[in-house]
Amino acid sequence: MATKITLPTDRYFDTYPAQKEIALQLYNQVADKPLVCPHGHVDPAMFADPNYSFGSPADLLLIPDHYIFRMLYSQGIALERLGVPRTDGGEVEQDHRKIWQLFADHFYLFRGTPTGMWLAHELKEVFGVEDKLCRDNAQEVYDHIEAQLAKPEFRPRAMFERFKIEVLATTDAAADTLEHHKAIRESGWQGRVVPTFRPDGVVNIDRPDWLEQIEALGETMGHDISSYKKLIQALEDRRAYFKAMGATATDHAAQIPVTGELTPAEADAIFQRALEGEADEEDAMLFTAHMLMEMARMSIEDGLVMQFHPGSFRNHNELIFDRFGFDKGCDIPVAVDYTESLEPLLNKYGNDTRLTLILFTLDETTYSRELAPLAGHYPAVKLGPPWWFHDSWNGMKRFRDQVMETAGVYNTTGFNDDTRAFPSIPARHDLARRADANWIANLVVRGVIDMEDANEMIHDLAYRLAKKAYKFE
Amino acid sequence: MATKITLPTDRYFDTYPAQKEIALQLYNQVADKPLVCPHGHVDPAMFADPNYSFGSPADLLLIPDHYIFRMLYSQGIALERLGVPRTDGGEVEQDHRKIWQLFADHFYLFRGTPTGMWLAHELKEVFGVEDKLCRDNAQEVYDHIEAQLAKPEFRPRAMFERFKIEVLATTDAAADTLEHHKAIRESGWQGRVVPTFRPDGVVNIDRPDWLEQIEALGETMGHDISSYKKLIQALEDRRAYFKAMGATATDHAAQIPVTGELTPAEADAIFQRALEGEADEEDAMLFTAHMLMEMARMSIEDGLVMQFHPGSFRNHNELIFDRFGFDKGCDIPVAVDYTESLEPLLNKYGNDTRLTLILFTLDETTYSRELAPLAGHYPAVKLGPPWWFHDSWNGMKRFRDQVMETAGVYNTTGFNDDTRAFPSIPARHDLARRADANWIANLVVRGVIDMEDANEMIHDLAYRLAKKAYKFE
Amino acid sequence: MATKITLPTDRYFDTYPAQKEIALQLYNQVADKPLVCPHGHVDPAMFADPNYSFGSPADLLLIPDHYIFRMLYSQGIALERLGVPRTDGGEVEQDHRKIWQLFADHFYLFRGTPTGMWLAHELKEVFGVEDKLCRDNAQEVYDHIEAQLAKPEFRPRAMFERFKIEVLATTDAAADTLEHHKAIRESGWQGRVVPTFRPDGVVNIDRPDWLEQIEALGETMGHDISSYKKLIQALEDRRAYFKAMGATATDHAAQIPVTGELTPAEADAIFQRALEGEADEEDAMLFTAHMLMEMARMSIEDGLVMQFHPGSFRNHNELIFDRFGFDKGCDIPVAVDYTESLEPLLNKYGNDTRLTLILFTLDETTYSRELAPLAGHYPAVKLGPPWWFHDSWNGMKRFRDQVMETAGVYNTTGFNDDTRAFPSIPARHDLARRADANWIANLVVRGVIDMEDANEMIHDLAYRLAKKAYKFE
């Protein structure tokens, strides 16, 4: 007989009864609040078409989710066997039941991981699966999910509503014409799905696809992006368009967060070299550093919140990148300095209360050393939630323990799910709300704060801060 | 009706009853022990004049305390509105009741922060305020504190005695004539207030005020500090004077802790360039590195304990520095290496049992990686308590968890409050003693140590280690 | 009356009763499982001779153990007084009772340290000492241990069997002829003691003893190692010999983990410069980086597991190194980057499932930032247990908290004791098994995993993973 999935109502909380009781009381106040999702990677296409289908259970839950397939890959299972499409169109497993079986056979790998926790919630609460996935019941569970996905209530819009999503931000390239967003708005459906302006593809000249992205931007603009000046103009235009389509924020990545200004002539010289394929690493670093300054300037002008996520060495594994492309679980973090790197930007714009600069990190050493002190001083700086590998129970605990004493709660920005796995959204918010309740309850039970404060803080962390920081009001 | 400030007698301790009982038992042994304050920034002037008045509640509690106003500034409140004086004498808020109201309106920002914890203790235990500060009772609380400050028992000397301060070390520039310390000694008052020799102003040639400080030192000495040799002589003389005035320690800062020797000729060449305003960054680094070696040498000769606090990028926000000067909440930590940087100094002096070198850090990653191994090996090295941003409940917990297993308790130096906020001193020591008791109780209840050891350790951590390390015996 | 050593059966576990009960239940399942010891520094000589004697209590427990004497040294006690032999044959204390007394007088230094925890277990469980060591009972305890050591059941082979050691790996230089291992195999004794191939001495050309080691390797090979080609051939030969003698793994150190390939001609040019004593730091870095690539290649060919331990600044204290040699407690960790440094090696070999590369660190910041993401992606990468300074209760806790969520349990390799202190082996494994049980119990009680998973995980972590990763099956 199969083991049941257990999802105790008081799960994850620390176990001392006095604290857990308060945690539950706080959690229950926000457990059913709408979800504010200001940063994520869900495909807007799924909401543009009211009849959009998620495909098979493997299509929905496994093949696109690098959190899952990287773990299987780390144990020597080829991505081809998991159906991950090759960029060269080479053969990969097409039998989704075989893929699902392979996943079930290795489900034990997720013991104690956030993916394991999200999946338990998702399988049981979203799909109604009662039994813990294992080798023996794999096909039965597959049948069950497949049957669910055929029902109207498993269309994306229905799930969006069932999940009580108040707003969902997607992430979109500068050149993106936002067709799906347009379709959503024109469809009369009331779900709020907004784009986020992410221009990395055109401002990070060392990206393997930079020229392609610049050409795409030219096509969208209707003229070639042949100079730095034209790039700036295009970016300003696209930001205005994104804003008109509901965007409230931009998003930026770079391996290191260096900032600093170039003259327009210097910037153009680098841009021209990049067009010729002759820019070097130093050029790329200087250009990104300069464009971050420009992005802050534009944010002050147009009011879009600026998000910055540095510190990931993208596509560390060349073999995997060459064969399968971007976002295949082989982006590996590096140590990052914010204090010196951001000084030029913060000295120019950090005192300006019109700017909201939300910083994220993969280098947790910067929480207490740099990020909390920066957020606890500069009016423009706020801190995003624990990101990516750190968006886990322990990661959230470390963030709260290391950030809050110095930055205070009110220089943080609540939770975002940052996910492309749409059905995992409720599980992720639920985990975060439990982490908030647990953290606050510990402060109460130790006499650091009283319940009056606690009752405000839980609403701030679980709902209000994200809404306010991202200007969704 | 206003909410009351709650200060449970068992506050802050972890909540498992078995552990908390032991924690309380340990804490109660030291709760009333005298306070040893070997490192801080209290102004000695307040003890020189028996009738010294602290001014208004805002004068005492807000305007000089960058822990408080940086948090308000981070939320977009201009420092001018908080009455922080401008270096150009420009207009700032003069109405202290308005400043206090602004503080009360934003008191929620301190939820869960050490400042919030200290203030609760301070307002209730030191000033007898019963109600939690909020928008509505701000003026009432102001009235109450104002009335208290008018009483003789709120003169600094009376508070010093009430706080049971056994010794209080101030921090004083090399050129300081220690007039206030002299006045205290000559007044016949029994309070022990001693200076600490902090020569950063004259040894860190990249400081914006270096030349000014060198001139001040020349004035104190009665002759120009026109050469490296004269600088060394002046420092030796001043150390002797400080020692005669009760000092037992020196204190040193640098952004990076590089150490290394120059020849006297090399040192003088840099010194001359600095006098001409022509020294560069490399010069500054080499000169500070050399002067740290010299300071260690002098400490071996005169027995003054050497404290070293590297890792702060001072005055990160130029606008704030230009307008308001030093120590305005915009010093931001950077990553620091001790292992390689200190190697020259430790190889020359680290085996010498006459030297006590107390290291501090703002980069907590060095606790387990570098500082504990260094302190657990070199006879000269001891570790100072968690510093500045880390002088908090969680910061103390991280220090104990990451340092003690490798360095052992007896290579650490107890607590110091490092504060310029005089009335916060009891709150800070109380928090640290609770952190000690909590940490030790956890070791007891888990069977790592027995009560016999615990009873020694609590006295060591709360009182004896600081006294011994700083030679206050 | 002396205080008794207390070793509660539920020691070290967190104290909330619900969790502790589960922890005990898990721990009891593995408390008596055989010990797998895949990495350590025990001298194989002690098993080669059935009548080997450990010498005096000081010989066995103090003089060779840098965990112990570094702590005494840090408090100003000269190593000479502790009987640590000088490389120049200079005089050191010969009276082992005096050494033991000095140790007992300072036993309080180990309060709350892993050494203190191991010693309590070792003294009581292995040697039957009932009283806590102190100034007064030092000689009595010495008498007791001395009497025990005279008994047959305190011969190494008897203890090996009593400890239920299933396999014990030693660490051996490339040139080592493995005489003791041969003697063990030929003796007919059933204990499994295997060598580990550690070629640092001949591949790290910046080691003070490199030339000596190269000459030793030449002697073992019967011809001079006069070229890079001959070095490679010698290494391949020696690996084959080690493997024939039971080795399943190699072990490598370097201050920084840089990897990268040279051409054979480049490698030989550096090798020749090194022979002439003319290689510089850059040469050393490039040569080690290249040899690590070669070692990975050979591991793929011969199947030996590759262990890599970077990040220790060896012999930081020159005075101690000059006087007492290697491994005297003055190796101090530095910050380390793995992501960029290992990229060449991982791009070439990291996708090869024939390679097992076990990474260790002394820089705990890399746990969540680099090591867990690398292990959670590359098929070749596994993580070794918390190492050296971090092989402690808190260190293990940090490892589990920061690694497991991202890497998963199954990209880690269980425990190894890494010790030269043979009688401490049961204490170390017991501590680790308690740490595992405590960690898993916390997951259970918080509803993250169920008991079905927990029961598997405790066996994996306490026994199976080490056996599998090191191919002891």
pLDDT at position B473, please? 80
pLDDT at position A1, please? 64
Alpha carbons C199 and C304: distance in angstroms, whole number: 13
For chain B, count helices (H), then strands (E): 22, 11
Q: Do C110 and B456 touch (CB under 8 A)?
A: no
Residue C472 has pLDDT above 70, yes or no: yes
End-of-domain residue from the set C153, C177, C205: C153
Q: Which residues contact B61 (CB under 8 A, 6 or more apart)?
A: B68, B122, B145, B421, B423
Burial of residue C188 (CB within 10 Å: 0-12, 13-18, 19+) is: exposed
pLDDT at position C473, please? 80
Q: Which residues of B touch C367 (CB under 8 A)?
A: none
Nearest to C16 among B16, B406, B407 (CB): B16
Q: Is residue A11 part of a domain?
A: no
Alpha helices (H) in C122-227, listed in sequence order: 138-149, 156-162, 179-187, 200-203, 210-221
What CATH number has the domain bearing residue C334?
3.20.20.140
Residue of A nearest to C336 (CA): A335
Strand pairing report for A165-169 and A193-194: parallel
> Is A362 touching C (CB cutoff 8 A)?
yes
Q: Which residues contact B305 (CB under 8 A, 6 or more apart)?
A: B248, B249, B250, B299, B356, B358, B469, B470, B471
Residues of chain A with pLDDT under 50: none
Tokens of C307: 């262990």
pLDDT at position A207, please? 94
Alpha carbons C418 and C231: distance in angstroms, whole number: 28
Strand pairing report for B312-313 and B332-333: antiparallel
Nearest to B15 among A18, A343, A410 (CB): A18
Q: Which residues of C touch B402 (CB under 8 A)?
A: 394, 398
* Cβ(A30)–Cβ(A463) below 8 Å: yes
Q: Do B146 and B161 reside in the same domain of the chain? A: no
Percent pLDDT > 70 in chain B is 100
Query: Tell me: the pLDDT tens digits for B315-353?
Result: 999 999 999 999 999 999 999 999 999 999 999 999 999
Q: Do B47 and B139 reside in the same domain of the chain? A: no
Query: Tell me: the pLDDT tens digits for A177-225?
Result: 999 999 999 999 999 999 999 999 999 999 999 999 999 999 999 999 9
Query: Tell me: the pLDDT tens digits for B157-197?
Result: 999 999 999 999 999 999 999 999 999 999 999 999 999 99
**Strand partners of residue B4:** B131
CA torsion through residues A137, A143, A149, A153, sign? negative
Q: Do C406 and A393 touch (CB under 8 A)?
A: no
Q: Kindly report the number of other CB atoms within 10 A of residue A53's CB atom.
A: 14
Q: Do A112 and C409 touch (CB under 8 A)?
A: yes
Residue of A nearest to C365 (CA): A365
Q: Do B408 and C113 touch (CB under 8 A)?
A: yes
Q: Do B376 and C75 touch (CB under 8 A)?
A: no
Q: Residues 266-285, chain A: which have Cβ within 8 Å of B?
A: none
Alpha carbons C371 and C369: distance in angstroms, whole number: 6
Q: Do A367 and A463 reside in the same domain of the chain? A: yes
Residue C2 has pLDDT above 90, yes or no: no
Distance (Å) from the C-alpha of residue A361 to the closest C-alpha of chain C? Answer: 10
Burial of residue A7 (CB within 10 Å: 0-12, 13-18, 19+) is: middle
Q: Is residue A351 part of a domain?
A: yes
Alpha carbons C377 and B210: distance in angstroms, whole number: 52
Q: Do A317 and C351 touch (CB under 8 A)?
A: yes
Strand pairing report for A357-359 and A305-310: parallel
Q: Do A123 and A247 reside in the same domain of the chain? A: no
Tokens of B340: 């390689």
Q: Do C112 and C167 reside in the same domain of the chain? A: no
Distance (Å) from the C-alpha of residue A66 to the closest C-alpha of chain C? Answer: 10
AA identity, residue A264: P
pLDDT at position B429, please? 98
Distance (Å) from the C-alpha of residue C283 to the closest C-alpha of chain A? Answer: 25
| Mean pLDDT along residues B260-285 | 98
Q: Residues 313-352, chain A: which have Cβ within 8 Å of B?
A: 335, 337, 339-340, 343, 346-347, 350-351
Q: Residues 158-187, chain B: which have Cβ within 8 Å of A?
A: none
Distance (Å) from the C-alpha of residue C406 to the closest C-alpha of chain A? Answer: 6
Q: Which helix H or strand E contains B344, and what residues bound it?
A: helix B343-349
DSSP for residue C126: I
Q: Is residue C1 part of a domain?
A: no
**Strand partners of residue B381:** B357
End-of-domain residue from the set C122, C153, C184: C153
Q: Kindly report the number of other CB atoms within 10 A of residue A251's CB atom.
A: 22
Q: Do C330 and B377 touch (CB under 8 A)?
A: yes
| Mean pLDDT along residues C165-182 | 98
Q: Residues 143-162, chain A: which have Cβ within 8 Å of C?
A: none
Q: Do C332 and B18 touch (CB under 8 A)?
A: no
What CATH number has the domain bearing residue C125?
1.10.2020.10
Q: Do A161 and A148 reside in the same domain of the chain? A: no
Cβ pairs bridging B and C (under 8 Å): 135
- pLDDT level of residue B1 (50, 70, 90 thresholds): low
Interface test with B, best of A14, A339, A342, A356 (most B CBs within 10 A): A339
> Is C452 touching A (CB cutoff 8 A)?
yes
Tokens of A282: 């130093």
At residue C358, φ and ψ (nearest 5 deg) are -100, 120
Residue of B nearest to C108 (CA): B453
All chains having 3 or more CB pairs closer than 8 angstroms to chain A:
B, C
Q: Is residue A8 part of a domain?
A: no
Q: Is residue B144 part of a domain?
A: yes
All chains having 3 or more CB pairs closer than 8 angstroms to chain C:
A, B
Question: The tokens 């229905």 sit on which residue?
Answer: A158
> Is C455 touching A (CB cutoff 8 A)?
no
Number of domains within chain C: 2
> Is B353 touching C (CB cutoff 8 A)?
yes
Nearest to A457 among B12, B111, B362 (CB): B111
Q: Residues 18-47, chain C: which have Cβ within 8 Å of A?
A: 18-19
Q: Which residues of C touch A73 (CB under 8 A)?
A: 377, 379
Residue C433 has pLDDT above 80, yes or no: yes
Q: Which residues of C touch B14 (CB under 8 A)?
A: none
* Distances in whole angstroms, Cα of residue B76 to Cα of each of A460, B79, B81, C292: 19, 9, 11, 53
Q: Do C317 and B378 touch (CB under 8 A)?
A: yes
Q: Do C143 and C178 reside in the same domain of the chain? A: no
> What is residue C137's three-state secondary structure?
coil
Q: Do B65 and B114 reside in the same domain of the chain? A: yes
Three-state secondary structure string covering chain A: CCCECCCCCCCCCCCCHHHHHHHHHHHHHHCCCCEEECCCCCCCHHHHCCCCCCCCHHHHHCCCCHHHHHHHHHCCCCHHHHCCCCCCCCCCCCCHHHHHHHHHHCHHHHCCCHHHHHHHHHHHHHCCCCECCCCCCHHHHHHHHHHHHCCHHHCHHHHHHHCCEEEEECCEECCCCCHHHHHHHHCCCCCCEECCEECHHHHCCCCCCHHHHHHHHHHHHCCCCCCHHHHHHHHHHHHHHHHHCCCCEEEEEECCCCCCCCCHHHHHHHHHHHHCCCCCHHHHHHHHHHHHHHHHHHHHHHCCEEEEEECEECCCCHHHHHHHCCCCCCCEECCCCCCCCCHHHHHHHCCCCCCCEEECCCCCHHHHHHHHHHHCCCCCEEECCCCHHHCCHHHHHHHHHHHHHHHCHHHECCCCCCCCCHHHHHHHHHHHHHHHHHHHHHHHHCCCCCHHHHHHHHHHHHHHHHHHHCCCC
* Distances in whole angstroms, Cα of residue C400 to Cα of each of C25, C195, C438: 20, 29, 11
Tokens of A377: 């001083």
All chains having 3 or more CB pairs closer than 8 angstroms to chain B:
A, C
Q: Which residues of C touch B370 (CB under 8 A)?
A: 332-334
Q: Do A131 and A260 reside in the same domain of the chain? A: no
Alpha carbons C197 and C176: distance in angstroms, whole number: 9
Q: Is residue C247 part of a domain?
A: yes
End-of-domain residue from the set A153, A177, A205: A153
Q: Which residues of A touch C372 (CB under 8 A)?
A: 389
Q: Is residue B5 part of a domain?
A: no
Tokens of B306: 């050497």
Q: Do A365 and B362 touch (CB under 8 A)?
A: no
Alpha carbons A259 and A338: distance in angstroms, whole number: 10
Q: Residues 114-143, chain B: which have Cβ within 8 Å of A?
A: 114, 116-117, 132
Q: Which residues of B touch C363 (CB under 8 A)?
A: 365, 369
* Distances in whole angstroms, Cα of residue B11 to Cα of each of B117, B205, C15, C205: 10, 46, 19, 57
* Cβ(A191)–Cβ(A161) below 8 Å: yes
- pLDDT level of residue C412 (50, 70, 90 thresholds): very high
Q: Do B213 and B109 reside in the same domain of the chain? A: no
Nearest to A376 among B16, B74, B319 (CB): B74
Q: Which residues of A touch C365 (CB under 8 A)?
A: 335, 363-365
Tokens of A179: 């067709």
Q: Do A332 and C353 touch (CB under 8 A)?
A: no
Alpha carbons B285 and B290: distance in angstroms, whole number: 9
Distance (Å) from the C-alpha of residue B104 to the closest C-alpha of chain C? Answer: 39
Q: Which residues of B touch C318 (CB under 8 A)?
A: 347
Q: Which residues of B touch A402 (CB under 8 A)?
A: 394, 398
Q: Which residues of B touch A450 (CB under 8 A)?
A: 3, 6, 132
AA identity, residue A334: V
Q: Do A464 and A358 reside in the same domain of the chain? A: yes
Q: Is residue A458 part of a domain?
A: yes
Q: Which residues contact B85 (CB under 8 A, 6 or more apart)?
A: B63, B92, B324
Alpha carbons C253 and C198: distance in angstroms, whole number: 9
Q: Do B143 and B184 reside in the same domain of the chain? A: no
* Cβ(A296)–Cβ(A462) below 8 Å: no
Alpha carbons A328 and A87: distance in angstroms, whole number: 12
ipTM over cut 0.85 = yes
Cβ pairs bridging A and C (under 8 Å): 135
Domain that holds residue B110: 53-154
> Is B369 touching A (CB cutoff 8 A)?
no
Query: Tell me: the pLDDT tens digits for B347-398?
Result: 999 999 999 999 999 999 999 999 999 999 999 999 999 999 999 999 999 9
Percent pLDDT > 90 in chain C is 99
